[in-house]
Amino acid sequence: MAMKSRQASSFVMFDVIYEDGSRSSNRRVPTSALGGLDGDDAARPILEAQDAEIAQASGRPRHAIRSLSRTPPRPVEEDPKGARKKPRA
- Grade residue 69 by pLDDT with cuts at 50, 70 and 90: very high
Distances (CA, A) of 20 to 17, 38, 56, 67, 87: 8, 26, 19, 11, 32
Instruction: Domain ranges for the chain, please list them.
Output: 9-70
pTM, full prediction: 0.70
Q: How does pLDDT run across 12-47, given as a tens digit for each residue?
A: 999 999 999 999 999 999 988 887 767 788 899 999
Neighbours of 47 (CB within 10 A): 18
Residue 4 binned pLDDT confidence (cut-offs 50, 70, 90): low
How high is the mean pLDDT of the chain?
A: 83
Q: What pLDDT score does 43 carry?
A: 92
